[in-house]
Amino acid sequence: MSHKFSRREFVGVGAAAGVLSGVRPLGAEAPAVRSSERGRPLVIASANGNRYRNGGPRNCVEEAFERMARGEDVLDALVEGVQIVELDPEDSSVGYGGLPNAEGVVQLDACCMHGPKKRAGGVAALEGVRTPSVVARAVADLTDHHLLVGPGAQQFARNIGIEIEADLNTDRSRSLWLDWKRRTDPLHYLDPEERETALRRVADEMIAEGLVDSGHYYGTINCNGVNAAGEVCGITTTSGLAWKIPGRVGDSPILGAGLYVDGAVGAAGSTGRGEANLFALASFLIVDEMRRGAAPLDAGMTALRRISANTIEKRLLTEDGRPNFNLKFYVLDRTGEHAGVSMWFDERQQYAICSEGGAETLACESLLGERPISS
């Protein structure tokens, strides 16, 4: 049951004024007009932010919101929230137990941005650390850099006192990798075009058989928040594409792609096909659209249209020439107005929020409608 927050919990961080706009419950119409009133404090995340608790009393968005309500720094609150998902082995798209790369090694990516402090930090291809969000925040706070990768990121984590583990696989993630490996080994020396198709077919088969959650194939959690003072921060963390080429880095740790925050405007982050997002730097595009006055929903749709227009390779298109992948954005402005948008619609395309009224899972607005069965 979602925890409801009393106004007493907001003492010390300022009273929240105005009306929360942009909430679209399942089946409701999306907001058409952007509110100019100041909204309430809010946390927005991918749907897994309202699902996993790792055995504790709260999920990601609830934990982050409660900490914001107590007056904690917004980014610190978000990091505490996403750690619940990173540490939960039931979510195979993030942190500990995330689906590994093609060699069976879990490599993690994360980035964070602090709107008021105008700081950012990220890590990529990080091995042996269950909570890359913590390391990303440390990069922002303790270095003059924005991104550390591979062994260097791991050494930095070790230097600041974080335990390095030999293997982040769980029995489940290792078993799924072994299943994938058995199915794909005979395919590794095919023609490149045929190999891509064959490998994706194996993934689709494992999803259809219920072995892999379709949302965990690309994975990721994005979580953004704004407090009563209008301070905006965000974080994205992931185990990346399932069974990726070792060293592959997607959009999640890249500023402007997997996450972008402007303290004067708002935040946007993503889950889904990272390569498509990287080509458009779509999170930056969304925030820039909001800077020019667009509502979160309209800004998110602009980014999806650009990504759709950029998708021209046949292997990435449906039979009628539209993108054959999904991509979602979670958008928040500093008034608390928000939106979740997806390339395609189905009942799984959702996002999570937490406000004073508690946590909710809402339907994303889709650009292309329901995906054809033949695609």
371 lies in a domain?
Answer: no
What mean pLDDT comes out for the span 249-263? 97
Per the DSSP assignment, residues forming a β-bridge with 361 are 352
Phi, psi angles (nearest 5°) of residue 108: -115, 150
User: Strand locations in the chain, DSSP E?
Assistant: 42-46, 108-114, 119-126, 147-149, 221-226, 232-238, 259-262, 266-272, 327-333, 338-342, 350-355, 358-363, 365-366
Give catalytic status of residue 220 as yes or no: yes
Q: How confident is the model at residue 20, as a pLDDT?
A: 33
2 lies in a domain?
Answer: no
The answer on pLDDT for 279 being more than 80 is yes
Q: How confident is the model at residue 32, as a pLDDT?
A: 35
**Of 321, 277, 375, 350, nearest to 366 (Cα)?**
350
Task: Return the percent helix, strand and coil in the chain, to nearest 5.
Answer: 35, 20, 45
Q: What is the pLDDT of residues 175-201, one digit of tens each?
A: 999 888 888 765 543 455 666 666 667
The answer on pLDDT for 228 being more than 50 is yes
The answer on pLDDT for 155 being more than 50 is yes
Q: Active site residue: 184, 197, 220, 361, which one?
A: 220
Q: How confident is the model at residue 25, as a pLDDT?
A: 41
Number of domains in the chain: 1
Among 42-51, 60-69, 137-146, 315-324, the minimum mean pLDDT is found in 315-324
Domain CATH for 271 = 3.60.20.30
97 lies in a domain?
Answer: yes
Give the model's confidence band at 24: pLDDT under 50 very low, under 70 low, under 90 confident, else very high: very low
- The residue segments making up the domain with residue 178 are 7-366
Q: How confident is the model at residue 210, as a pLDDT?
A: 74
CB under 8 A, 24+ apart: contacts of 322-327: 322/368, 322/375, 323/276, 323/368, 324/375, 325/272, 325/273, 325/276, 326/218, 326/272, 326/273, 327/270, 327/271, 327/272, 327/273, 327/276, 327/277
Which two tokens mark 356? 């004073």
Contact residues for 3 (Cβ-Cβ < 8 A; gap 6+): 58, 62, 66, 358, 359
Full-model pTM: 0.83
Give the model's confidence band at 23: pLDDT under 50 very low, under 70 low, under 90 confident, else very high: very low
374 lies in a domain?
Answer: no
Under 8 Å between Cβ of 44 and 223: yes
Q: What is the pLDDT of residues 51-98, one digit of tens each?
A: 999 999 999 999 999 999 999 999 999 999 999 999 999 999 999 999
Among 64-78, 123-137, 142-156, 193-207, the minimum mean pLDDT is found in 193-207
DSSP letters for 73-141:
-HHHHHHHHHHHHHH-TT-TTSSTT----TTS---EEEEEEETTTTEEEEEEEE-S-S-HHHHHHHHHH
